[in-house]
């Protein structure tokens, strides 16, 4: 397989947060990036795959990564965006909304969080600015510290972990957009103690590596989601992945 010159990715993994509760150290983002550049699997050119881990996953670097996708990509591009870290919803007040939390995010204080995080409105606008007709967004925003331990880091103010289902509907607007979330906004996601991956991303990687087999020697995006959804629910019944799509075709995402 030759490299896909017009395939681009931004892969973000944050566990060692600077100012808020840290997450279990897993290898989700690193191994996902490795699958993307593997010439026998996804075949992305390594120079087109940007990886931001922990201290590198700042608000400014996330913005720069999204802006680079906007500048580099055209309608014929394939784009893959993965975020593993804290996501949150401010439930009331002037800062009500959804947020992706970069490494240096500051909390307590809703004003602090809104100032230092990336708002859902900003993230949506950045996605809408990417011209690619094939855009896959995977959000693993709610691991727990262990089975039965939801990712709850803000006890004092009206904020909820994760991203709401209604916000995922906003993200999918456009042609050829697929949004996959590790769990429903109201539910936790899980990492088993000492596990290499979170429950969701572990099964997602297995699917990409060939277990989500479809027709014609390729794995298509809906084949992949169906595999992951079934495996995650069987593995952890309290965690249910979410799919939001705006598709003209069930496009291939990987060879097997």
b (16+ CB within 10 A) / e for 229-248 = bebbeeebeebbbbbbeeee
Q: State residue 89's pLDDT score.
A: 84
Q: State residue 152's pLDDT score.
A: 36
In contact, 149 and 198? CB cutoff 8 Å: no
Counting every residue, how long is the chain? 256
Q: Which helix (H) or strand (E) holds 33?
A: helix 28-37
In contact, 91 and 160? CB cutoff 8 Å: yes
Rounded to an integer, what distance in angstroms lies between the CA atom of residue 156 and that of residue 204? 34
b (16+ CB within 10 A) / e for 205-222 = bebbbeebebeeeebbbb
Q: State residue 1's pLDDT score.
A: 41
pTM attached to this predicted model? 0.88
| Strand pairing class (7-13; 78-84) | parallel
Measuring CA to CA, which residue among 151, 139, 119, 131 is closest to residue 24? 151
Phi–psi pair at 61, nearest 5 degrees: -70, -35
Phi–psi pair at 160, nearest 5 degrees: -120, 145
User: How many C-beta neighbours within 10 Å does residue 106 have?
Assistant: 16
Measuring CA to CA, which residue among 91, 114, 106, 103 is closest to residue 160? 91
| Strand pairing class (87-90; 97-100) | antiparallel
SS3 per-residue string spanning 72-96: HCCCCCEEEEEEECCEEEECCCCCC
Domains defined along the chain, listed by start = 7-255 (3.40.50.1460)
**Residue 201 is encoded by which pair of tokens?**
């991303």
Rounded to an integer, what distance in angstroms lies between the CA atom of residue 210 and that of residue 207? 5
Q: State residue 224's pLDDT score.
A: 95
Q: State residue 157's pLDDT score.
A: 44
Q: State residue 175's pLDDT score.
A: 59
Measuring CA to CA, which residue among 237, 59, 39 is closest to residue 49? 39
Q: State residue 190's pLDDT score.
A: 87
Q: Which helix (H) or strand (E) holds 233?
A: helix 221-235
Q: State residue 187's pLDDT score.
A: 78
Q: State residue 171's pLDDT score.
A: 41
Each residue's pLDDT expressed in tens, for the chain with a length of 256 residues: 445 789 999 999 999 999 998 999 999 999 999 999 998 899 999 999 999 999 999 999 999 999 999 999 999 899 999 999 998 888 889 999 889 999 999 988 999 999 999 999 999 999 999 999 889 999 998 632 222 223 333 333 444 555 556 644 554 444 588 999 998 876 778 888 889 999 999 999 999 999 998 777 889 899 999 999 999 999 999 899 999 988 888 888 887 6
């Amino acid at each position: 397989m030759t490299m896909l010159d017009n395939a681009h990715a931004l892969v973000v993994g944050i566990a060692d947060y600077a100012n808020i509760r840290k997450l279990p150290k897993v290898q989700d983002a690193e191994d996902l990036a490795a699958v993307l550049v593997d010439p026998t699997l996804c075949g992305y050119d390594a120079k087109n795959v940007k990886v931001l881990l922990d201290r590198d996953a700042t608000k400014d670097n996330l913005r720069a990564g999204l802006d680079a996708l906007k500048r580099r990509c055209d309608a014929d591009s394939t784009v893959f965006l993965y975020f593993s870290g804290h996501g949150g919803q401010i439930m009331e007040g002037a800062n009500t909304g959804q947020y992706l939390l970069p490494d240096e995010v500051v909390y307590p204080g809703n004003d602090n969080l809104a100032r230092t995080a990336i708002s859902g409105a900003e993230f949506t606008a950045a996605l809408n600015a990417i011209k690619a007709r094939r855009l896959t967004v995977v959000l693993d925003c709610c691991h727990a510290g262990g089975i039965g331990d939801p990712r709850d880091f803000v006890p004092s103010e009206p904020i909820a972990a994760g991203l709401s289902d209604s916000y995922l509907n906003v993200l999918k607007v456009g042609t050829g957009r697929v949004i996959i979330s590790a769990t429903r906004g109201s539910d936790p996601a899980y990492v088993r103690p000492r596990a290499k991956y979170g429950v969701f991303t572990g099964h997602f990687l297995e699917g990409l590596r060939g277990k989500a087999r479809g027709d014609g020697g390729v794995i298509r995006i809906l084949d992949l989601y169906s595999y992951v959804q079934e495996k995650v629910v069987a593995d952890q019944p309290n965690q249910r992945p979410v799919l939001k799509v705006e598709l003209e075709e069930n496009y291939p995402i990987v060879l097997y």
